[in-house]
């Protein structure tokens, strides 16, 4: 009831819905993660960005996001494939931002090969970054969420957490695992003010995907628009990309009081991909 009253008071006062909250978003220096971080910051949450990049570019990004939304923004360069660095990232966020109210596990990597040719070291890396890092971050953040009686854990899974594609054994296994982990955490926190859910994007128009489209267009000697349509036609019935802004908006909704009883859900944003 206190959380509901607080949320109503913020709206009544004309405040932003997540003012006073603090978030970690992994893999947030570009693409989906940055879209999520921008959306949370726009609603007043202070944010820890995480990822890789040139120091000057990251410094500018931290400054720009903070200035644009008038919130505190910090950065952790933690390699989330490593347990000790994930734990230190959460500790640093608690110290720098005062708490970790919202944890968005977004970072991921991909490798494509048939199972018999799939390098064992790539399997290990994909599982470490796409699945184990989620567990380690949740494990580190949960105690202080429980202490304060409120939290939102949002795992960015994938349409590949619900269905499979050839050549993506590690990614598909990891994303299916993320959805399973999401359900367990949701059950273990069911009687608390903490929720845990997964978002399952299909094709999202990110800089990485744009580069893939450009490479396909050059390889096949077709226009960029044709390359886009070829990419979408294979999986996504809407023939339209989702956007980082749409994923960010859903993340904000899952942090709201309206979503307090959405627990353990795997929510597709995939243009109908998994409806087939």
Mean pLDDT by 10 residues, the chain (276 residues): 50 75 98 98 98 96 98 98 98 98 97 97 98 98 98 98 98 98 99 98 93 93 94 94 98 98 98 97
Domain that holds residue 219: 205-241
- Residue at 276 is within a domain: no
Give the pLDDT of residue 234: 87
Give the pLDDT of residue 9: 47
* One domain, residues 80 and 217: no
Task: Using CB atoms within 10 Å of the CB of residue 244, give its burial: 0 to 12 exposed, 13 to 18 middle, 19+ buried.
Answer: buried
* One domain, residues 103 and 162: yes
* One domain, residues 120 and 230: no
Question: What CATH number is associated with residue 53?
Answer: 3.40.50.720
pTM: 0.94
* One domain, residues 96 and 231: no
- Residue at 127 is within a domain: yes
* One domain, residues 81 and 217: no
* One domain, residues 237 and 166: no
Instruction: Catalytic residue, from 135, 150, 171, 273: name it.
Output: 171
* One domain, residues 209 and 262: no
Judge whether 171 counts as a catalytic residue: yes
Give the pLDDT of residue 14: 53
* One domain, residues 197 and 63: yes
Paired tokens of 127: 């599982």
């Amino acid at each position: 009831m206190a959380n509901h009253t607080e949320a109503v008071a913020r709206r009544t006062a004309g405040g932003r819905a997540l003012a006073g909250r603090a978030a970690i978003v992994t893999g947030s220096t570009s693409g989906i993660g940055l879209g999520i971080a921008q959306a949370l910051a726009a609603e007043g949450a202070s944010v820890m960005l995480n990822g890789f990049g040139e120091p000057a570019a990251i410094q500018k990004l931290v400054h720009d996001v903070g200035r644009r939304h008038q919130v505190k923004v910090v950065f952790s360069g933690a390699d989330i494939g490593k347990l000790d660095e994930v734990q230190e990232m959460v500790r640093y966020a608690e110290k720098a931002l005062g708490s970790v109210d919202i944890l968005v596990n977004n970072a991921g990597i991909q490798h494509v090969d048939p199972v018999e040719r799939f390098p064992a070291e790539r399997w290990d890396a994909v599982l470490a970054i796409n699945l184990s890092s989620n567990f380690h971050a949740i494990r580190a953040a949960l105690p202080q969420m429980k202490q304060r009686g409120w939290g939102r854990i949002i795992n960015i899974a994938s349409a590949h957490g619900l269905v499979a594609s050839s050549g993506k054994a590690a990614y598909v296994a990891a994303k299916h695992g993320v959805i399973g982990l999401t359900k367990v955490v949701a059950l273990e926190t069911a009687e608390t003010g903490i929720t845990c859910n997964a978002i399952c994007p299909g094709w999202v128009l990110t800089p990485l995907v744009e580069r893939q489209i450009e490479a396909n267009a050059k390889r096949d000697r077709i226009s960029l628009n044709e390359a886009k349509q070829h990419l979408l036609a294979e999986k996504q019935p809407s023939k339209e990309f989702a956007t980082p802004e749409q994923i960010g908006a859903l993340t904000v909704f899952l942090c709201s009081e309206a979503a307090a009883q959405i627990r353990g859900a795997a929510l597709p944003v995939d243009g109908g991909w998994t409806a087939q």
